[in-house]
Chains A and B, each alone.
Chain A
Amino acid sequence: MKPVTTNFRNKAAETLEDKQIQQSIEHVYTGFFQGRLSAASETPNWEQLRSKGKEIKDHTIAHLDYYLNLLANNVQKNGGNVFFANDAEEARNHIIKIAREKDVKTVIKSKSMVSEEMGLAEAMNDEGFETVETDLGEYIIQLANETPYHLIAPAVHKSRSEVAKLLDDNFREGDPVPDANQLTMLARKKLRSVFERADMSVTGANFAVAESGSIALVTNEGNGRMTTSVPRVHVAVMGMEKVIPSIQDLSTMLRILIRSATGQRISTYVTMVNGKRSPDEEEGPVEFHLVIMNNGRDKLLRDSQTRESLNCIRCGACLNACPVYRKVGGHAYGWVYPGPIGAIVSPVLTGLKDASNLPGASSLCGACHDACPVKINIPRMLLELRYRTAEGSASKSERSSSAKERTVWKLWKIGMMGRRRFDLGSRTSGLLLRPLVRNGWMRIAPPPISGWTLTRDFPSFASKSLKARLSKRNRTSKS
Chain B
Amino acid sequence: MTEKEQFISNISAALGRKTIQKPEADHRLSFFESASSINSNADQSIVDSVNRSDQLMDQMSSAAETIGWKVHHASNTEVAASIVAGICKDNNAKNVLRSAHEVLDQIVVDAAISNIGASVEVTEHQGDYSQIDVENTKIKAFAADTGITGVDYAIAETGSIVLHPRSGLSRLVSLAPPIHIAVLRPAEVIASLDELFALERSNFINDQLEGSMNIISGPSKTADIEGTTVTGIHGPLEVHLVIFKDDHIGQ
Contacts and interface: CB of A to CB of B under 8 A. Distances in A.
Interface string A269-289: 111111111111111101000
Contacts, number: 274
A184 B225 contact: yes
Given A221-B234, A272-B209, A250 B197 contact: yes
Contacts of A56: 29
B92 to A, nearest CB: 18
Interface string A252-296: 001100000010111111111111111111111010000010100
A246 B202 CA distance: 11
Contact of A188 (B31, B213, B223, B233): B233
B226 A266 contact: no
Interface stretch (A59-67, A325-333, A364-372, A400-408): A59-67
Contacts of A269: 214-217, 220, 235
How large, as a class, is the contact surface on chain B? 35 or more
A82 interface: yes
A247 B11 contact: no
Given A136-B222, A153-B224, A286-B131, A251 B11 contact: no
Interface stretch (B48-56, B72-80, B111-119, B162-170): B162-170
Interface string B8-40: 111111110000111100101111000000000
A268 B218 contact: yes
Contacts of A160: 225-226, 228
A102 to B, nearest CB: 13
Given A188-B233, A283-B170, A294-B10, A274 B212 contact: yes
B123 A282 contact: yes
A117 interface: no
Nearest to A227: B234
Given A222-B220, A225-B235, A248-B198, A84 B212 contact: no
A283 B171 contact: yes
B131 to A, nearest CB: 7
Contact of B166 (A137, A223, A278): A278
B234 A211 contact: no
Interface stretch (B81-89, B144-152, B188-196): B188-196
Given A136-B233, A268-B216, A282 B228 contact: no
Contacts of A282: 123-125, 134, 137, 165, 167-172
A191 interface: yes
Given A65-B12, A78-B207, A282-B167, A137 B138 contact: no
A283 B212 contact: no
Contacts of B63: 265
Interface string B101-133: 000000000000000000000011100010100
B170 A65 contact: no
Contacts of A27: 226-227
A266 B215 contact: yes
Nearest to A85: B7
Contacts of B13: 302
Contact of A251 (B9, B167, B170, B196): B196
Contacts of B4: 69, 72, 82, 84
Contacts of B31: 211, 245-246, 248-249
Contacts of B170: 281-283
Contacts of B43: none
19 contacts: A24-B226, A63-B22, A78-B207, A86-B10, A155-B224, A156-B227, A185-B232, A188-B234, A192-B142, A220-B222, A229-B171, A245-B31, A246-B201, A251-B197, A265-B63, A270-B215, A274-B212, A283-B171, A301-B15
Nearest to A62: B15
Given A160-B226, A220-B222, A221-B221, A69 B8 contact: yes
B90 interface: no
Contacts of B250: none
Interface in A10-34: 24, 27, 30-31
Contacts of B213: 271-272, 274
Contacts of B137: 282-283
B24 to A, nearest CB: 9
Given A284-B171, A286-B131, A294-B10, A221 B211 contact: no
Nearest to A164: B225
Contacts of B9: 65
Contacts of A292: 7
